[in-house]
């Protein structure tokens, strides 16, 4: 008898390679707007952009800023760092999101693993903090949409991971029980801690060490057996390096 019935996946940097896809989408966007030649180095710009974008998303998750602030400031602050001013930041963001939706790089083994899990009878769903105008198109364009019964997008639900409301809504909407559900994601703060506090098990996708863990968890992870941590509310955290490793846990 299998332990879980419902698998709730994060999308960005769990199944869909956000880092690779956003790099390509940004480069295309800057070329389209004739901005790229004005930069000494695209790599240097993208490194600055990633740091600013990450900080703004953290503030957005914490409800400190609005979506509009996020989409404007991630471009204005990044490009102004390279002495580029007076652009239509919102329009630039919309072009970037359109280009993002066209990128299709998945982590190795994603399609094969989801196919296997589907044949085993799991009900699979997405819980994502991304924006509505791009997440559905991402799923469709990269061939993932057919695997998932329901897609829960934070913007549509007016709440984000790690807040319990989004998990509560997802489980109620799928008629899933906590003990028969598990969250799979790449972010300790939003996916794993959110699921722990809500009371469901979790799987942390480490991507061979590229996805960050808090220092306290790193120390525990290095000493545990079978890559599993016992957490509060009677939940457990599993760790995987590759998406295909899900087959050994589920």
Residue numbers annotated as active site: 10, 12
Return d(Cα 15, Cα 184) in angstroms, integer.
10
Are 188 and 212 a contacting pair, CB within 8 Å? yes
Residue 96 contacts residue 29 (beta carbons within 8 Å) = yes
CA distances from residue 180 to 87, 127, 151 in whole angstroms, order as listed: 49, 16, 18
Distance CA 78, CA 84 (A): 9
Q: Comparing C-alpha atoms, which of 221, 173, 171 is closest to residue 200?
A: 171
* Residue 206 vs residues 98, 181, 218: alpha-carbon distances, Å: 28, 20, 11
Coil vs helix vs strand at 7? strand
CA dist., res. 223 & res. 229, Å (int): 10
């Amino acid at each position: 008898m299998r332990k879980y019935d419902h698998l709730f996946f994060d999308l960005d940097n769990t199944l869909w390679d956000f880092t690779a896809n956003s790099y390509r989408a940004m480069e295309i966007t800057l070329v389209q707007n004739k901005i790229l030649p004005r930069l000494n180095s695209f790599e240097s710009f993208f490194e600055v952009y990633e740091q600013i974008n990450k900080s703004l998303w953290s503030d957005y998750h914490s409800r400190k800023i609005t979506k509009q602030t996020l989409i404007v400031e991630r471009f204005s602050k990044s490009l102004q760092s390279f002495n580029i001013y007076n652009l239509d930041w919102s329009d630039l963001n919309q072009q970037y999101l359109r280009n993002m939706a066209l990128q299709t790089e998945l982590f190795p083994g994603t399609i094969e693993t989801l196919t296997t899990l589907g044949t085993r009878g799991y009900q699979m769903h997405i819980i994502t903090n991304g924006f509505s105008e791009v997440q559905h198109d991402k799923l469709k364009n990269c061939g993932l949409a057919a695997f998932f019964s329901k897609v829960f997008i934070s913007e549509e639900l007016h709440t984000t991971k790690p807040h319990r409301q989004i998990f509560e809504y997802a489980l109620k909407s799928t008629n899933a029980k906590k003990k028969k559900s598990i969250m799979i994601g790449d972010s300790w703060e939003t996916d794993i801690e959110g699921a722990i506090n809500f009371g469901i098990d979790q799987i942390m996708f480490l991507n061979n060490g590229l996805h960050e863990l808090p220092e306290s968890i790193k120390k525990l992870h290095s000493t545990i057996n079978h890559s599993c941590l016992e957490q509060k509310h009677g939940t457990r955290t599993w760790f995987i390096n590759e998406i295909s490793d899900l087959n050994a846990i589920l």
